[in-house]
């Protein structure tokens, strides 16, 4: 594992340090791709994950929660019978492209060094962050079975699917919250091809995953910029 991660060993593995870092927070209630860098691969995460991300989200019309997903307390209920499939498809066009989005209060964003979600759970008053520009490359409706609807989303960094679903509900003159959220791609890594399921989180399986992902590494010029002597690798965990 040390060798695959590009870490030189001195023969005494008990005292070796293996650096590990992830390439972007995933909601605690969500599933899917979380890219993890091991060893010198941690230095590559920012470059390799600069592209878009893809999600599949199941939303529910008629209910809103404080966390904007199914884990929170219901804060509002509204009728949704008037919403048609056509209404929903038309609304999605307003949330495609470069838009402004207000991040949710329950998020990994920080205030005075602490996550907003941590402050909220302690009952402290937290002000909403101002709207910020985000990018939605594509947004499509895959299924509509009221009150549930399924979206495929491809977006850039800093985007919150929970805020999207909440805003869609408001635009439809009702409310909505995320019931299920799956990240299907992050950068070049996909759920189908690269994810290592948690029941295979062993040293041998992680090492094999690192080797498998070598094909996704940048070309030689990009590696030289990092001033490393050994190939870096990254591994996906689900």
Residue 60, CA distances (Å) to 66, 78, 175 in order: 14, 11, 8
| The CATH number, out of the four listed (3.30.2350.10, 3.10.20.340, 3.20.20.70, 3.40.50.410), of the domain defined by the range 52-186 | 3.30.2350.10
Distance, CA of 236 to CA of 238 (rounded, Å): 7
For position 43, what pLDDT does the model report?
87
Contact 22, 36 (CB under 8 A): yes
On whether the CB atoms of residues 216 and 44 are closer than 8 A, the answer is: no
Rounded Cα gap, residues 128 and 175, in angstroms: 19
Q: What is the pLDDT of residue 209?
A: 85
234 with 45: CB under 8 angstroms?
yes
- What pLDDT score does 14 carry? 65
Domain boundaries, the chain: 52-186
Please confirm, yes or no, whether 27 is among the known catalytic residues.
yes
CA atoms within 13 A on the CB side of 142: 11
pLDDT for 78 equals: 97
What's this model's pTM, rounded to 2 decimal places? 0.80
- Mean pLDDT per block of 10 residues along the chain (238 residues) reads 66 72 85 88 85 96 94 94 97 97 75 61 66 96 98 94 96 97 94 89 85 72 43 43
Choosing from 27, 98, 152, 167, the catalytic residue is 27
- Predicted pLDDT at 117: 59
Other Cβ atoms less than 10 A from the Cβ of 48: the count is 22
Alpha helices (runs of H) in 22-171, residue ranges in sequence order:
45-48, 85-93, 116-121, 161-171
pLDDT of residue 227: 43
């Amino acid at each position: 594992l040390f060798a695959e991660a590009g870490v030189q060993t001195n023969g005494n593995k008990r005292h070796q340090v293996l650096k590990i870092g992830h390439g972007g927070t995933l909601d605690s209630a969500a599933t899917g791709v979380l890219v993890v860098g091991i060893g010198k691969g941690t230095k590559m995460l920012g470059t390799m994950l600069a592209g878009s991300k893809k999600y599949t989200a199941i939303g529910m019309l008629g209910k809103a929660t404080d966390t904007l997903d199914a884990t929170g307390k219901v804060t509002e209920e509204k009728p949704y019978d008037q919403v048609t499939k056509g209404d929903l498809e038309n609304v999605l066009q307003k949330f495609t492209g470069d838009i402004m989005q207000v991040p949710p209060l329950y998020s990994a964003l920080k205030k005075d060094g602490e996550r907003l979600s941590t402050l909220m759970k302690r009952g402290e008053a937290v002000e909403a962050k101002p709207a910020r520009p985000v990018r939605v490359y594509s947004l499509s409706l895959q299924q509509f079975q009221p009150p549930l609807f399924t979206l495929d989303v491809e977006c850039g960094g800093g985007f919150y699917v929970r805020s999207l679903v909440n805003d869609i509900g408001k635009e439809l003159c009702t409310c909505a919250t995320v019931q299920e959220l799956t990240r299907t791609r992050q950068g070049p890594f996909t759920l189908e091809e690269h994810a290592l399921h948690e029941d295979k989180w062993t040293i041998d399986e992680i090492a094999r995953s690192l080797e498998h992902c070598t094909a996704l590494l940048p070309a030689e010029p990009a590696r030289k910029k990092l001033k490393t002597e050994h190939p870096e690798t990254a591994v996906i965990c689900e």
